[in-house]
A and B are shown apart, each in its own frame.
Chain A
Amino acid sequence: MSTEKYNIKQEIETLREDCLRPTRTFNRTTQMWVGFLLMVMGWGLYCYIHQLGHGLGVTAMRDYVSWGLYISTFVFFIGISHSGTLVSAILRITKQEWRRPITRSAELLTFVSLLFGGIQPIIDLGHPERIGNLVLFGRVQSPLMWDVISILTYFTGSTVFLFLPMIPDMALCRDRLTVVDTRFKRFKKWLYTKMALGWQGTKSQWHRLEKTMTIMTIVIIPVAVSVHTVVSYIFAMTLRPGWNSTVFGIYFVVGALYSGSAGVILGMAAFRKFYHLEKYLTPRHFDLIGRIVLALTLFYAYLNMNEYWIPAYKMATAEGHLLRDLFYGDYSKVFWTLQFGTVLLPIIVMSFPKGRKITPLVIICIIIVIGAWIKRYLIVVPTMLHPFLPIQDVTTQWSDYFPNYVEFSVEAACVAGIFLVITIFSKLFPMMAVWEVEEGIQINHDNATAIELRKEREAEDAKTIEGLPISGDQSIKQQV
């Protein structure tokens, strides 16, 4: 027993060091990576300023396709942001032990994709400087207003949800910082001290943290569901064929969870590789979250069927034009590639245990995430190209759409921004919730000890029982 106790202390110590190690280095590769991201962001910013000066006419959008890549990306990023809620809140509430090493990266992904998703409609505005009109003249009847309210609530909530479990870790960083020499020591010391909020790990502090976490966990789930529901409502509240659909709310929510959980897997794989967390993010974790992605993909496939098969059976006139375009028209190649490549293929691959091994799972998740982005585009753009009245006597520039360099550059900058925030975050803060994993180790240890104790006791019992007649076996055991 004494060796056991020694081991758990050492294990926790190793864990703490493993988690804090990446925050102490900022090597050449990281510097180059950050420099590259900043360059991409700089170019995107230049393009956006160009757009501000010359109007949205510098994009490929025109009157028929008045929403394009920006709004598609908005839907996509907000979708990715559902990862944190799923993994963190749902797995927390269902007391899934294996969630412990994943929660931090999932919550971070939520925070950062919401940040960059939320600015997409602002990038898309003709007059971003008039954003204050939303407060001055805001109308709650507008679906866009629901988006603003809901996303702001979710952003606030998920920021708190990311921050709360960081408090004990910040205290750990603060306390350990004095021991080891690092870069930006004074800044880090100030930052950790501020963020630890005077955490000392007392009983009442733990109690309060757990209580707040429980409340946040329960509150954040309906908020997250509301977010993607009202994002779908900016489309579903119109009469346009393809958008005029009652299934849109849940279709978007499930699509979000499906792409978001795939995003979490990619994050996990990246941190595992770059920060050497193989010990904590085991193939078992990937297998389990792979099952969740599989379940969500199946659900998504079912909703896809509802979304396309029901109108396709009836082929109502205006809707029929759109569906013909998707099924065997201009968008058919992309449409079927997505249906087979990002829905059917992942279902088949992930159904097998071998398909949930790390490498195939990561490949599938890359496909899912990129596919989800293109799918958002396919929800937004073809519908805009199929209005009730025919598109007549306009040049193809006005009647067709493919995003141009301005839009791609701005979106590249946003993706770079997401990577930059994640990189900087991971260089300042541990990418696993150290105390949560510790708790897991402790629980495992306690369980192991309990099992050991029971075994010992049973062995002793057996010794006593041996001397007794067999018929009395049952009653004696019960007494024990």
Chain B
Amino acid sequence: MKEDNIEDESKEAGRRNFLKFGALAAGLAVVGGGLQKAFSEEKETGEKVKVLNTSDGKVYEANTTNLRECNGPRISNEEARKGIPNKKFVMVIDEAKCDGCKKCTDACQEAHFIPPEREWIKVFKMKDSETTAPYFMPKPCFHCDSPLCVKVCPVGATFKRQDGIVLIDNERCIGCRSCMAACPYSTRFFNWSAPGPEEVAAVGNMPYSPERGLPRRMGTVEKCDFCPDMIRQGKMPHCVSGCPMDAIYFGDQNEDAVTNASGVTVKLSQLLEDNGGYRFLEELGTEPRVYYLSAKNRKYPIPDMKDINNVRKGTKPKNMDMENM
């Protein structure tokens, strides 16, 4: 999986070649977003390097000025809709380990240029009832196997892939927000206004792919995407690798293996069996792909429920928060 790719877009040839690029050091990948312009202008000032086209196996010569750093291969829309073959991605969040530090949220926000008022992975302070102990619950998108959001979309802008991931194509989304109404987990967010200048400067010119969700577009819906762009590079989603407590595991259900930030790989079924694995609001029948492990033998002090900023209305002031399951 770990490949460095460049994409060479040649206007004359009128085709896209995915090239394996050996001359540059590992870790540096390049992409030809906006390369057409560079080629047509024929300004070749940089150094020439040899690149291998993986589709026809031939070696080409390309100019470094025409090559740009990228985070992985560019995935066509059809591929992004199909997903990665023979995979079933799954996430396990260990409530016994989560201390509510929100590092997962920070990593995710930064990588996806998300404005602060929406959090793709949000850490809730939960307390199910008066008598039960509170715990932290990081909540990404559950990538349900029976996703209501996908069902209600009138144009198929959000879709379920064969690898289990639910994505959004913001080039097709009409912004009706049916999916937001349908999702029982408040996982989806709407781009109420245009993306901020920082984001535009950083990724504004990037070619769009549903797998990255960037650049975001005003008037479309977005949400946690399980970072398929990272997966394609053989890396972990940002929240998983950003967790200092090793509380988040990510992996493939077909392999029955999940891995955490420290690189410890465990058997998924064993992990769920040993730690009281469950899924949030199982009774809704949405079949989430995110499992939680009960907060047993916790490795952090019990969260203080006093400082919680809960804006729920109509509940009794006493234990106003969490008896909500």
Residue in B closest to A126 when the chains form the complex, CB atoms:
B175
- For B153, the chain A residues whose CB sits under 8 A away are 139, 142
> When the two chains form their complex, are residues B311 and A392 in contact, meaning their CB atoms are under 8 A apart?
yes
| Per-residue A-contact encoding for B285-325, CB less than 8 Å = 1, 0 else | 01000000000000000000000111111111000011111
Number of interface residues of A (CB under 8 A): 66
Q: Is A281 close to B, CB under 8 A?
A: no
Alpha-carbon gap, A382 to B312, bound state (A): 11
Inter-subunit contact B154/A388 (CB<8 Å): no
The reply to whether B313 and A329 contact each other, CB–CB distance below 8 Å, is yes
B residues in contact with A330, CB < 8 Å: 313-314
Say whether B189 contacts A63, CB under 8 Å: yes
B152/A64 in contact, CB under 8 A: no
> Cα distance A150–B284 when bound, in Å?
29
Check: A89 CB closer than 8 A to any chain B CB.
no
Q: Looking at the complex, which of B2-10, B117-125, B267-275 is the stretch in contact with chain A?
A: B117-125
A464: interface (CB < 8 Å): no
Chain A, 320-362, CB within 8 A of any chain B CB: 321-326, 328-331
A125-B175, A126-B190, A130-B172 known; A393-B324 Cβ under 8 A: no
Is the Cβ of A239 less than 8 Å from the Cβ of B190?
no
Contact A387 B174 (CB under 8 A): no
Cβ A56 vs Cβ B181 within 8 A:
no
- Stretch touching chain B among A230-238, A259-267, A451-459: A230-238
Q: Which of A207-245 contact B (CB under 8 A)?
A: 234-235, 237-240
Closest to A63 in B: B189
Assuming the contacts A64-B186, A317-B323, asked whether A392 and B155 have C-beta atoms less than 8 A apart, the reply is no
Indicate whether A133 reaches chain B with its CB closer than 8 angstroms.
yes
The answer to whether B139 touches A389 (Cβ under 8 A) is yes
Is the beta-carbon distance between A55 and B184 smaller than 8 angstroms?
no
Report the bound CA distance from A398 to B190 in whole Å: 12
Asked whether any CB of chain A lies closer than 8 Å to the CB of B232, the reply is: no
Candidates A61, A138, A382, A396; contact of B192 at CB < 8 Å: A61
User: What total of A-B pairs shows CB separation below 8 Å?
Assistant: 188
Which B residues are in CB contact (< 8 Å) with A106?
Answer: none
In contact, A318 and B193 (Cβ under 8 angstroms):
no
B151 within 8 A of A: yes
Q: Are A55 and B191 in contact (CB under 8 A)?
A: yes
* A390 with B324: CB separation less than 8 A: yes
| Bound Cα distance A176, B114 (Å) | 68
CA A388 – CA B325 in complex, angstroms? Answer: 7
For residue A385, which residues in chain B have a CB less than 8 angstroms away from its CB? 313
Chain A contacts for B68, CB-based, 8 A: none
Q: Mask for A107-135, Cβ within 8 A of B = 1, else 0? A: 00000000000000100111110110110
Q: With A386-B314, A392-B310 in contact, do A57 and B184 touch (Cβ < 8 Å)?
A: no
Choose one: B118, B174, B316, B323; the contact of A125 (CB below 8 Å).
B174
Is the Cβ of A234 less than 8 Å from the Cβ of B181?
A: yes
List residues of chain B with CB within 8 A of the CB of A304.
none
A394 CB within 8 Å of chain B: yes
> Known interface pairs A142-B151, A144-B176. Does A238 touch B314 (Cβ–Cβ under 8 Å)?
no
- Chain A: CB-nearest residue to B127: A390
- Please, which residues of chain B bring their CB within 8 A of the CB of A400? 311
Closest to A142 in B: B154
A67 at the interface (CB under 8 A from B): yes
Contact A54 B193 (CB under 8 A): yes
User: What separation, in Å, do the CA atoms of A133 and B236 have in the docked complex?
Assistant: 34
The A54-70 residues at the B interface (CB cut-off 8 A) are 54-58, 61-64, 66-67
Instruction: Give Cα distance in the complex from A385 to B181, angstroms.
Output: 11
Q: Contacts A121-B176, A325-B314, A389-B139: A142 and B192 contacting too (C-beta < 8 A)?
A: no
In angstroms, Cα B311 to Cα A330, docked, is 12
Is B202 in the interface zone, CB < 8 Å from A?
A: no
How far does the alpha carbon of A64 sit from the alpha carbon of B155 in the complex, in Å? 22
Q: Mark B84-107, 1 if CB is under 8 A from A, else 0.
A: 000000000000000000000000
Name the one of B181, B281, B309 contacting A393, with C-beta atoms under 8 angstroms. Answer: B309
Further pairs besides A139-B155, A234-B178: 4, Cβ < 8 Å: A137-B157, A148-B154, A238-B148, A389-B139
8 inter-chain pairs at a CB distance below 8 angstroms, sorted by A residue, are A54-B193, A62-B117, A63-B188, A126-B174, A134-B174, A237-B148, A392-B310, A399-B311
Top 9 nearest A-B pairs (CB, nearest first) are A126-B175, A325-B314, A126-B219, A329-B314, A57-B192, A57-B193, A142-B154, A144-B154, A399-B311
